[in-house]
Chains A and B, each alone.
Chain A
């Protein structure tokens, strides 16, 4: 009964989504406010219905109702509760329901808190949101119904793919989807503006918080995915330039560009057409990400859908939305008034440079990701484009951007003074230089570029600190005066500084672990010792163990450093009984210097085991930096100036929230 309710709610939601699309659009054409306002309750209703559907699926999972085929395929009685819950989105059908749920959440948020939006804009935005929801709901209902019943119901399910049974991965999809789907807000606003043929600074003020929220969730989602790949796949790397990773990275790059161009538009009323185009591109890349990972075009852990009909359906959705949006853009963009002149050396100029480099960077990633697919479909030749391609193309495009980052905030709007900016950044520059020289002197091995990479990271962090110092006039006035200014600095300013510093932390982590990692693969017999990066690992042997839904063979390693016991590592190989599949669980010892990482391999001829050992210096900084960026986004989002929707209204959306309670 619960499953049927869920299914029914989903179909009703489809109906509501169609109403939400058609009537408000018609209303704005005819300037009929009564038709326009239908969008608001429709969006709220849609959230309610999809939430009912999602809860129904969740209930089926938690209660292990194997009469639902989806549950039977992806769950099992013995699976821990958290993975029963995560199992809801650990498969194609359920993940699509999560997708539309998040979409409905965003839509309902605009409906509920967007009362200070111009009525026509709100109606158009909700109509576009409704059309996206309708397309995806139709997709779910016709090709990916999660509520299909099995009769008779089996006693136990087939379980979830063991590599997905992991805490970081349990929350990776919701964050990633919030990012992907959140960009639909920017898209809907862009389309609404194009339909209206009008766009102004208030538009950017409205779009920015949504983009920011989506972007910070995407950042965290990508970081979680990378963190998971790092310790679960037992390969010791944090990023593989796998097409699936690229699929999430491209919207991130475009979204980062969008955040910055929306800033120009909000503050200076310039770059309007470009911002609209970028909003369309960002969401298009999100759709493409969904298509790539969900269609089975790429083989990966995400390729749930082997049914070609689904791939074609998503391709059709993509075609309609991207093609339609770009056509509308081509027709209407010339009508949008341009404004806001600026000199090349100015805050705007620096943000244009940011956009230019980010856009070309994602284009390079785009080519590398799609070229093999295109080549195969045209010539039938199979190739793979691996990390060398991306390192070679992405690196030279992103490094100039990273060097330029600290300059941007130091330049004034309209016309900046590059010499003055350089003077303000003198301290950061010297600091970066010292760091480079120090690393050059202390590290004999590794590529010669690496110390400059560390310097670049320090430069970014130093640049962010210099910006604080400059803004509070640290060296011009008295200390209490500076402290007072510090307290009154807007949170958005803190947010951008912290985000840039977080970027610096990520850069240091990536450079250090790529340049100076040690790796050794050896055959170890019990009681033998291996040396890596100053640690001595003594192999104590292998013992069997039982987990909740798996059996494992655990390798025991005693780790010492300079004769002192440091820790014990227990890398294991897990056999999942229900799923009849195996995973590798790395043993990791984390410290500030870096991670000691051990993987247990197969048993060899003479009682030895193959063992893979890594030392990844400073690798934690990558994820620490991502968390810093996430926090920075939150800080910025909590800024009062961002919360204020339209300029002339005194009431902020957040106050509406409190009032609604």
Chain B
């Protein structure tokens, strides 16, 4: 093999692998990203039932109900709109009424958000930044002190 051919093989392989990687990334970005919505977004957007998304907001006070077995239902609010959520499983340690929560799942035709995972974040004052930000945008934010907890437990889900 000449020097030129060697170089061609090297560059060809590199381009091949790069093309594969780019294709994989684009397909995956198209199919497997999950958007984050608040109940108001959901009310506006008329999402179809197969679409997975993350729902963020506060757990409405007094809304937590235990159903059959380990099924629980609660209502997520962003102080403007609300959305009922049902979830089967063990709630995280830091799940409390009146506090921030992020649930992942999809909105079914019964108008209920069926979550398959629920993430609650640390500390009574703490709120997931996604939630805090949305609440700020909506003008129902109650000051910086609310997010002042220095340490949030990220993967407590």
* A→B interface (CB under 8 Å): 73, 91, 161, 163, 229, 233, 235, 240, 242, 244, 298-304, 306, 341-344, 352-353, 356-357, 360, 363-364, 367-368, 371-372, 381-386, 388-389, 392-393, 396-397, 521-523, 573, 580-584, 599, 601-602, 604-605, 610-612
Contacts and interface: CB of A to CB of B under 8 A. Distances in A.
A91 B150 CA distance: 9
A302 B150 CA distance: 10
B20 A303 contact: no
A392 B27 contact: yes
Contact of B29 (A371, A381, A612): A371
B97 interface: no
Given A301-B153, A306-B148, 5 more contacts: A161-B151, A372-B33, A382-B133, A581-B93, A602-B90
Contacts of A372: 33
Closest CB pairs A-B (n = 6):
A300-B154, A601-B90, A388-B32, A382-B36, A610-B70, A582-B93
Contacts of B35: 381-383
Contacts of B54: 384
Nearest to A363: B21
B2 to A, nearest CB: 11
Interface of B: 1, 3, 6, 9-10, 13-14, 17-18, 20-21, 24-25, 27-29, 31-36, 54, 66, 69-70, 88-91, 93-94, 121-124, 128-130, 133, 147-148, 150-157
A294 to B, nearest CB: 12
B21 A384 contact: no
Contacts of A343: 1, 6
B94 A299 contact: no
A33 to B, nearest CB: 42
Given A303-B154, A360-B21, A602-B90, A382 B3 contact: no
B116 to A, nearest CB: 11
A599 B91 CA distance: 11
Contacts of A611: 90
Contacts of A523: 69-70
A342 B9 CA distance: 12
Contacts of B128: 299
A341 B10 CA distance: 12
A384 B20 contact: no
Contact of A392 (B28, B70, B156): B28
A301 B151 contact: yes
A356 B152 contact: no
Q: Which residue among B14, B155, B156 has the maximum number of chain A CB atoms within 10 Å of its CB? A: B155
A522 B69 contact: yes
Contacts of A371: 29, 33
A382 B33 CA distance: 10
Contacts of A392: 24, 27-28, 31-32
Contacts of B133: 382
Q: Which residue among A73, A235, A244 has the maximum number of chain B CB atoms within 10 Å of its CB? A: A235
28 contacts: A91-B150, A301-B152, A301-B155, A302-B154, A303-B151, A304-B150, A306-B147, A306-B148, A342-B6, A344-B6, A344-B13, A353-B13, A356-B13, A360-B20, A364-B25, A367-B29, A372-B33, A382-B36, A382-B133, A385-B33, A388-B31, A388-B32, A392-B28, A523-B69, A582-B93, A601-B70, A602-B91, A611-B90
Contacts of B69: 522-523, 604, 610
A611 B91 CA distance: 10
Q: Which residue among A360, A573, A599 has the maximum number of chain B CB atoms within 10 Å of its CB? A: A360
Contacts of A298: 154
B36 A584 contact: no
B129 A299 contact: yes
Contact of B155 (A235, A381, A605): A235
Contacts of A304: 150-151
Contacts of A521: 70, 88-90
A601 B128 CA distance: 22
B122 A581 contact: yes
Given A161-B122, A397-B24, A303 B32 contact: no
A213 B89 CA distance: 43
B124 A580 contact: yes
Contacts of A581: 93-94, 122-123
Given A299-B152, A523-B69, A601-B70, A397 B33 contact: no
A69 to B, nearest CB: 12
Contacts of B25: 364, 367-368, 393
Contacts of A352: 10
B83 to A, nearest CB: 16
